[in-house]
Amino acid sequence: MPKAEYLNYVGGEWVGAEKGETTTVINPANGAKLADVPKGGKADAEAAIDAAREAFDKGKWPRMTPGDRAAALLKLAALIESDMDRLAILESKNQGKTIKQARDGDLPFSVDNLRFMAGAARTLAGSASMEYAYGATSILRREPIGVVGSITPWNYPFMMDIWKIAPALAAGNTVVLKPASLTPVTTIELAKIIEKAGLPPGTVNVITGPGSVLGEALASSEKVDMVSLTGDTSTGKEIMRAGANNVKKLHLELGGKAPFIVFDDANLEAAAQGAVAASMVNGGQDCTQAARFLVQEKVYPKFVRRMVELLKTIRIGDPLERTTDLGPLVSDKQREKVEKYASIAKGEGAKLEIGGARPKGKAFEKGWYYLPTLFSDATFDMRISCEEVFGPIVTAMSFRTEEQAIEIANNVIYGLYSSVWTKNIHRAFRVANAMHFGAAEINEHLPLVSEMPHGGYKQSGFGKDLSIYSLEEYTNVKHVFVDMTDADRKPWHYTTFGDPM
Ligand code: NAD
């Protein structure tokens, strides 16, 4: 019997890693052991890929009607919904996110995403059916792609699983799902719920282990038709290299460094409240995090002052308490990264307004906590202004003109999320349109909805999550061309041989 408390789910069976190795998962709030999970290797990845391949080539799931697939996904959504209290606690213990974020944000949104995709499964249709050439008709089919390797990050473990598997399954694919090594617990719980929902064996397979081994195996395998990653831009590049050998279809949701542009006519209090909510969300470990505050010079001092006042009200502590606003970072390594960037920012000459240190006190000794941190007087070319940090640390800088704000906002390699704050409707639309980002919000920063696409420009990746656009990502479009004449000689044959008819 394998030693792991949590096991991999492959071909409908619960199995340990082939070599029997396990990884200990830690609770970032107190450094205590949360679980042991299998530390899978190449052989484990291959077994999961084979199971998904078999389920796609011969199994029931791709051959079910969209209506039957929708019913199965709705059942899965209902089972998750009835288990949200337990799952939220586990998510908080594994990731460090606050219980209110997990229970009232990630989990209900995941259920809604799944329900949306269940409904959308039944809307997949070719967009054309018509005669475009002599006596022949054209039909479009939307077909599943095949085996999808889904690789998820540690910041929203359960929600990212759903963003990956929901559209893939709705479209009729089978999946090998690999969670981040730091946060595999709720993904394995999801596999248990998938089993309970009665999805055919091999439809979803879950394997845990190092990304460099399992992720690489998925990306380079000939038997995997598509890889979908949410993760760091550098990981996206590695997957592109690994998938190049077999020209694999990729879907990459990568890093971000979102600008938040405040003009001097904005509702400043709304902007400051929005700034704190959108920068400290999930401990700042969010690809859409408002990370660069560009504020027009007339209101810049007032905005920074108000933001500092509001950041002081953030309650840092045990993430399982409903009154906690900010939990620990996900790992000691992530906290070290934040600390490194804080010292880079100081070295670059940015002014520390608040934070910049670990919180003091016994309650924080064992966890990976860091105070909400704001640097002001940054310039657009500082590393702290351009590079993704992924923590409760953000910068503010002032600008003079609209053109300057647009130029600074776009001056990063990323292009995921942006927002503009102003009461001038003409300017609001002008600036939103000028953003080289996959999303531009006006007088708001963060909300996502199941019906609208989420995805990047530039090095934030390509392919969309959420919405019908995401469902389409997980399909191939096939043109079926049907001759209706039964003629021996077709009007175009002479271009190859003989003369026109
Ligand atoms: P990461 O890139 O380190 O890991 C992501 C996943 O990739 C993990 O499962 C990891 O095990 C795996 N992996 C690592 N190396 C691999 C390799 N060589 N081949 C294949 N897989 C590999 O990212 P992370 O630190 O877990 O998450 C944070 C990053 O995710 C940030 O950059 C953030 O911006 C990004 N993110 C983006 C979005 C989005 O929608 N664009 C959403 C959430 C997170």
3-class DSSP assignment, residue 15:
strand
Q: What is the pLDDT of residues 370-388, one digit of tens each?
A: 999 999 999 999 999 999 9
Which mutation among 110, 113, 155 tests ligand 1's pocket best, with the greatest number of atoms within 8 A of CB? 155
Nearest CA to ligand 1 atom 18: 212
Residue 130: what pLDDT?
84
What is the sign, positive or negative, of the torsion defined by CA atoms of 240, 235, 101, 389? negative
253 in active site: yes
CB 151 within 8 A of CB 181: no
Residue 125: what pLDDT?
78
One-letter amino acid at 222 equals E
Ligand 1: which atom is nearest the Cα of residue 219? Answer: 20
What residues contact residue 403 under an 8 Å CB cut-off, 6+ apart?
A: none
- Ligand 1 center–CA 407 separation, angstroms: 28
Nearest CA to ligand 1 atom 39: 253
386 in active site: no
Q: Is the CB of 228 under 6 A from ligand 1?
A: no
Q: What is the pLDDT of residues 199-216, one digit of tens each?
A: 999 999 999 999 999 999
Q: What is the pLDDT of residues 18-63, one digit of tens each?
A: 999 999 999 999 999 999 999 999 999 999 999 999 999 999 999 9
Q: Residue 4 pLDDT > 50, yes or no? A: no
Counting residues of the chain whose pLDDT is more than 90, the rounded percentage is 96
Q: Residue 128 pLDDT > 70, yes or no? A: no
Q: Is the CB of 207 under 6 A from ligand 1?
A: no
Q: What is the pLDDT of residues 432-463, one digit of tens each?
A: 999 999 999 999 999 999 999 999 999 999 99
Q: Residue 129 pLDDT > 90, yes or no? A: no
pTM of the model: 0.96
Nearest CA to ligand 1 atom 8: 180
Ligand 1: which atom is nearest the Cα of residue 460? Answer: 41
Structure tokens at 230: 């949410």
Taking the C-alpha atoms of residue 328 and residue 317, their distance in angstroms, rounded to an integer, is: 8
Q: Residue 167 pLDDT > 60, yes or no? A: yes
User: Annotated catalytic residue: which of 91, 189, 253, 473?
Assistant: 253
Average of per-residue pLDDT across 176-199? 98
Query: Residues of 476-494 as b/e, b for ≥16 C-beta within 10 angstroms?
Result: eeeeeeeeeeeeeeeeeee
With residue 296 as reference, give the H or E element that holds it: strand 290-296
- C-beta pairs of 109-113 under 8 Å, 24+ apart in sequence: 109/159, 109/448, 109/450, 110/80, 110/158, 110/159, 110/161, 110/162, 111/77, 111/80, 111/81, 111/84, 112/450, 113/159, 113/162, 113/163, 113/166, 113/450, 113/466
Residue in the block written with tokens 């190092």: 210
Closest among 90, 97, 106 to 29, alpha carbons compared: 97
